[in-house]
Structure 1
Amino acid sequence: MLESKRRAIIFLVLSFLLAALAGFLFLKKIKDMNAQLGEMVEIYEANVDIPSRALIQPDQLTTRQIPKKYADDSYVVDKLSLKNQVTVVPLSKGDVITKNILKPANMVRDQNNRLITVYASGNIMFDQELEALDRVDIIISTTKGGQPVTEVFMKDVPVAMVAKSDNKFKGVALELPFEDVPKFIHQQHYAELMRI
């Protein structure tokens, strides 16, 4: 056997042994790191945008695994704890759901209040894009006795939810006392202009 061929075989065998040793050490290090991190736990996050004060649905959720060592008590780890819950802030896709942003659905809304959906249209204008939990004043322009009149119709009305389509603002859901609902709907249909 030629000397150069023998050296090539020795180097080749040596390189295979070193590669096997490096692979073994790498796998051992990964195993040690996994043991150090400990057991994994599933936490819940939004897989779609969830508006505030909207009832959380199971199809709006997905899970992510994190080491139990890093999961504190604020993370939601039990899907049953999300039943009949709403978020008090809007969530975007990928946001982690924590206990401090959840409230029972029956506690968020006053039992005597109703949600009224208002979309921007020819006679309804929004002065700016709104967010959930904003408060608005409603000003109407109409004709009374043949004279144009502009007046404050309602003050300090809470915005319960915001409607968006393709990230464009479309309208809101306002939370009104039940006795004000017919008056608002009447003005929504018959006022010449409503500004929110």
Structure 2
Amino acid sequence: MLESKRRATIFLLLAFLLASVAGYLVYQKVKDLNSELGGMTKIYVAKSDIPARTLIQENQVTTMEIPNKFYVKDSHVVKKDELVNTVLVVPVSKGHIITENMLKPFSNLRNENNRLVSMYPSEKVQFDQVIEALDRVDIIVSTDDNGKQKTEIFMRDVPVAYADGEGKNFSGVALEVSMEDAPKLIHIQNYADKVRVLKANVGKGDTMNTAAPAETDTTKEGAEQKTQPTGTHQPKAQQPATTTPKKTDTTKSTDTKPADTKQTDTKQSGTP
């Protein structure tokens, strides 16, 4: 009986040693595999079906971990901020990975029927001022139809969705127009002789720039008005000047006559 117990304890000790050695070997193998994979990274996947062209909500996405060896830095979404104010260009089913090439910035247009039309400076298109986002512009078009030149206001008070560049790096704008006006705006960019884009709303820095031309225009008009009467209507200007003295002379003569009569009366009264 004691011999059987001794053999059992020996077998148990051998089994425990073999199990610990096997566990250590498995641990080392897993550790080596993890080092080869480079750890784990959380990425964002669809928690439910997400339709295209809709703003992504927080409850529509979740995270899952993948090995860094299979992690593609330029495609997988690893930060929540990358999903803010974005939409999917394609529908995504539940559990599918969301990548950056599926995302587009959300366009906050005033009307879903409006469209964004880009305008860039060129030989035909000229911007009189640097335009910023949320500004409004007026578009003036000049055309030459068989020798008949015409300049007119094409669009007024058009909202600017966004602008490319600032200051000297300004390179164009995107205008928000209705679906009916979008083809017209594209047409004048392609076929008009000259397109001028003017900033409609005026800020503190722009008021002085717009006021100066107005003053020069008034002074020019005043100078023209002064020069025109002297050269063209000089005789007419002299006629009222000659008539007015006559009236004053008649009044003076009428005023002096009573005085003379009074003096004669006094003299007559004094002679006796």
TM-score (norm. length: structure 2): 0.39
Give me the whole-angstrom Cα distance separating, in 2, the residues matched to 1:39 and 1:6: 47
Write the mapping of 1:61-100 to structure 2, written as runs, cut at 5 A.
61-72=61-72, 73-100=74-101
Q: Distance in 1 between matches of 2:112 and 2:40?
A: 44
Q: Distance in 1 between matches of 2:13 and 2:56?
A: 61
Within 1, Cα distance between the matches of 2:112 and 2:22? 69
SS at match of 2:107: helix
Using the TM superposition, give the Cα deviation of residue 14 of structure 1 relative to its aligned residue in structure 2, in angstroms: 0.8
3-state SS of the aligned residue for 1:8? helix
What displacement does 1:5 show?
Answer: 2.5
How many residues align structurally? Answer: 116
Aligned to 1:37: 37
- Aligned twin of 1:51: 51
Deviation at 1:111, TM superposition (A): 6.1
Could you list the runs of 5+ residues in structure 2 that have no partner in the other structure?
A: 115-177, 181-272
CA–CA separation in structure 1 for the residues paired with 2:70 and 2:79: 16
Offset, 1:3: 2.7
> RMSD over aligned Cα, in angstroms?
2.4
Q: Which letter does structure 2 place at the counterpart of 1:83?
A: V
Instruction: Give the SS at the match of 2:65.
Output: strand
Aligned-residue identity in percent: 55
User: Using the alignment, how far apart are the partners of 1:178 and 1:58 within structure 2?
Assistant: 32
More helix by share: 2
How far apart are 1:29 and its partner, in Å? 1.4
Superposition deviation, residue 35 in structure 1: 1.5
Opposite residue 95 of structure 2, the aligned amino acid is G
Q: Name the CA distance, whole Å, in 1 between partners of 2:96 and 2:87.
A: 14
Give the 3-state SS of the residue equivalent to 1:63 in structure 2: strand
Relative contact order, higher structure (CA 8 A, sep 6+): 1
Superposition deviation, residue 59 in structure 1? 1.6
Alignment of 1:1-196 (within 5 A): 2-72=2-72, 73-106=74-107, 113=113
Whole-angstrom CA distance in 2 between matches of 1:9 and 1:81 = 62
Cα pair 1:47 1:60 within 8 Å, conserved: yes
Cα 1:91–1:106 shift into 2, 3 Å: same
Q: Give, in whole Å, the separation in 2 of the partners of 1:90 and 1:17.
A: 55
3-state DSSP of counterpart to 1:5:
helix
Q: Normalising by structure 1, what TM-score?
A: 0.53
Conservation of the 8 A alpha-carbon contact between 1:112 and 1:178: no
- Structure number with greater Rg is 2
